Structure 1
């Protein structure tokens, strides 16, 4: 509700500009966002859904193509997390990642840490530089003692592969769109702690529209973290969340196949927008 908010003013500027475009490309698929896409199609130029983009690219781009070098990570991935997951029981690990831009207070960091430790579950937590507002918090020795042998702290990991690993049972996330799509495509229920921007909207859809998530309140408390994670991992609601996220995963996989709706939309985008306008196309692999 702040008229000086950066994202608010960004959208005030960008939304009218979208009407001047030849097409609008969105990283989603029709079954996930059908009501929104129907509404947008009445207001905007042709809308092309091409997602989930990481699956569309994986299924349809030759390995030797420069497109295979394109990614959305801002930090270098560490493969040790995948090796750590190997051999762990199915659906036994909580994956925790608050994204590349979210920050939290030292108090929140400690509450999340002890909430995770108190569940007794194994967890893989990406604790990147800059996650805490006032510098990295030193977690107490008794926390490390509590997690010894059953959990791993990493600075960053190949999240797509982690979420597709059979050992991962729940994803504790900030609800960024890339993470949301990767969670769905991994078939993993989500526990949500949105921070800003579209993350709050994504959280609402996961928790109330799609039925694949549960939310932790802004004022983080270890007791709530523990209780919500337990319900998501083992409770009745958690089982229903898993059923629904697996249904969404099936629709995502189908849409991203060579003959799926998203890939057909990519072809239409090329023919109807890029080639029709003689727009130069250049792929740069850096």
Structure 2
């Protein structure tokens, strides 16, 4: 829905920015009341491509074009489930025909009875199962899972700030570190750090990330670019399962938020909320659930009828 309004925001002169100072002087706190289904959304919560001073930004123009082209699609699939953000899919259905909310995919996958299909993984990288034995030695809800996804690239200093923040939190953590995580060099941590966290940490190669909501997990968010700003806003403000690292990362901030998440009363409340969302996600992915129904309809009434 945010991308659908890029064109209107541009025409109204809300972006591109006049200069880069608008990023820091509070302009991004401007509330946008013209986006159906996204009440009180701020400019800073929109996908980050609009934080540009270039009126011909290639990614802005690309997204405007793609949302226009979506009007010609026979079906639009949204990776969410109805209970999670019902207002947004309902608003999108006013723009496009045949909108299907289908998520969480890993729960829908469990409904497939064909054993050959079940053996096929969705991983782009080879799985590293060495962490399983280590995890099995820890009590439930005592390990922090740290993952920056498949695209984000850190500076060496950002890597160290996260690393020492995790170490100083005195919590167990499983950190997924891609070989290309650090800009311009490999993600190598100093020996003194590895000694400090020995026994408390497990650094693994890349593996597929389970969707936290469907597993009932509260989270710390550090939105970097694209839709991460929007996702963070919903996790922290609407779904009440997230804490945000504001601005650039500092080890003290990491320690503070990890303590709140793992030990504080707010973290406990967030976990209860996360488990409520887990139950709703599980229902959506089961036979009779909204996502299960939408997937069946998409296959039987939209795809198979064309053969």
- What band does the TM-score fall into relative to the shorter chain? 0.7 to 0.9
Distance 2:182 2:98 in 1: 41
CA distance 1:20–1:193, shift in 2 (3 Å): same
Matched, 1:83 2:121: no
2:119 equivalent to 1:119? no
* Equivalent in the alignment of 2:61: 9
The SS at the match of 2:100 is: strand
CA distance in 1, matches of 2:121, 2:91: 31
The corresponding residue for 1:164 is: none
Per-residue deviation at 1:272? 2.6
Match of 1:204 among 214, 233, 245: 233
Distance in 1 between residues matched to 2:78 and 2:219, nearest whole Å: 22
1:259 maps to 2:300: no
- Alpha-carbon distance in 2 for matches of 1:212, 1:234: 15
Matches within 5 A, 1:48-63: 48-58=100-110, 60-63=111-114
**1:194 and 1:203 in contact (8 A); partners too:** yes
Higher Rg of the two aligned structures:
2
Match of 1:133 in 2: 183
Matches within 5 A, 1:228-267: 228-267=257-296
CA offset at residue 256 of structure 1? 0.4
Q: Give me the whole-angstrom Cα distance separating, in 2, the residues matched to 1:54 and 1:6.
A: 33
1:21 aligned onto 2:70: no
Shift of 1:38: 1.2
Contact 2:179/2:187 (<8 A) preserved: no
Please point out which of 153, 159, 164 is paired with 1:103: 153
SS state at 1:218 partner: coil
**Residue 214 of structure 2: aligned partner:** 185
Point out the more displaced range, 109-118 or 120-129. Answer: 120-129
**1:272 corresponds to:** 301
Q: 2-side partners of 1:192 and 1:4: how far apart?
A: 30
User: Are residues 1:151 and 2:180 paired?
Assistant: no
Structure 1 range deviating more: 133-142 or 221-230: 133-142
Question: Could you tell me how far 1:6 is from its partner in structure 2?
Answer: 4.5
Q: 1:54 to 1:137 in 2, by over 3 A?
A: closer
Alpha-carbon contact 1:123-1:152 (below 8 Å) kept = yes
How much has 1:74 moved relative to structure 2?
Answer: 2.4
TM-score (norm 2): 0.79
Q: Which of 249, 256, 261 is equivalent to 1:220?
A: 249
For 1:225 and 1:147, the matched residues in 2 are separated by 15
Q: So what's the TM-score if we normalise by structure 1?
A: 0.85
Residues in 2 aligned to 1:74 and 1:275: alpha-carbon distance in whole angstroms: 28
- Where structure 1 has 5 or more consecutive residues not aligned to the other structure, the ranges are 161-181, 280-286
- How large is the Cα RMSD of the aligned pairs? 1.6
- In structure 2, relative to structure 1, the CA distance for the partners of 1:104 and 1:253 (3 Å cut) is same
Q: Which runs of 5+ in 2 are unaligned?
A: 1-49
